[in-house]
Amino acid sequence: MADYLDYWFTASDGLRLYVRDYPNDDAPFPVLCLHGLTRNSADFEALADVLAPRYRLLVMEQRGRGRSDYDPDPANYQIGTYVRDTLDLLNALSLEKVALIGTSMGGLMSMIMGGMQPQRFNGMVLNDIGPVVESAGLARIQGYVGKGGPVQTWEDAVSAARANNEAAFPGLSDAQWLAFAQRLFRENADGRPEPAYDAAIAQPMRADTSAAVPPDMWALFGDLAGIPMLVIRGALSDILSARTAAEMVGRHPTARVVEVPDRGHAPLLIEPAALEAIGGFLDSL
């Protein structure tokens, strides 16, 4: 696994947030990786192994995930707050030009930030997300986030991970499912696995889906025309439809779509097709 440094910074409201920093003094520009709703920095380990020799990677953990502070006010678990935190990070590091790789929620954040500060981003990879989030997929995610009974063993953790995700990842081996669970769970003080996120992240999106998916994203998407774009789509995705992906290409002057076979939401970025596409895209910037 590629080496990284632990970096913490303080968000504007005082929470302490965590970032994996894969340093590279020879990189032409840094790459900021943003995870999905319930995920964390471990999701980008395979990608970092491929990209770290050529780029500096910053893999941020949003509040309430991984090693970042949990927010005492669950109302702050919404996409506008995450965007503000991420811009706080870029300002803390004095980064004026970065490329973005965003999975699911991280891709929504990328589009919002690109609309707000287009001059700051020289490229954008959207992993299985676009301006339209399919209602069936959103309902599926709402059905399991922050729920579930206690997990006593790693076998239980694997079973829970498979129950929520097996349809999206057919053909994963037992070893790959264990690795999947080890990215989603962590050991608590008693040595038992527990989800590596605050269950309270689900509260705002249950009350109002705009906390997770802003409305009228097509209008925002139009503001991204000057940012080179790669869209990764899982062929089985219930979040990013083939129709939406095709419309993204039609509306954006440089966007192209790479479809990953036998993957739903969202490709794990361990797949050769995804790794090759992302590496080639960044090298072209």
Q: What is the pLDDT of residues 243-272, one digit of tens each?
A: 999 999 999 999 999 999 999 999 999 999
pLDDT band at 150 (very low <50, low <70, confident <90, very high): confident
Q: What is the pTM of this model?
A: 0.97
Give per-residue pLDDT as tens, 38-85: 999 999 999 999 999 999 999 999 999 999 999 999 999 999 999 999
Alpha-carbon distance 245 to 226, whole Å? 18
Give per-residue pLDDT as tens, 188-206: 988 899 999 999 999 998 8
Alpha-carbon distance 160 to 167, whole Å? 13
pLDDT band at 143 (very low <50, low <70, confident <90, very high): confident
Pick from 46-60, 134-148, 165-179: least confident: 134-148
Instruction: Return the pLDDT at 112.
Output: 98
Instruction: Return the pLDDT at 235.
Output: 98
H helical segments located in the chain = 45-51, 79-92, 105-116, 135-144, 154-165, 174-184, 202-207, 217-221, 242-251, 272-284
Strand order from edge to edge, sheet including 229-234 = 5-10, 16-22, 56-61, 30-34, 98-103, 121-127, 229-234, 256-260
Q: Estimate to the nearest angstrom the gap between the alpha carbon of 94 and the chain centroid.
A: 22
Give per-residue pLDDT as tens, 87-120: 999 999 999 999 999 999 999 999 999 999 999 9
Instruction: Return the pLDDT at 146.
Output: 83
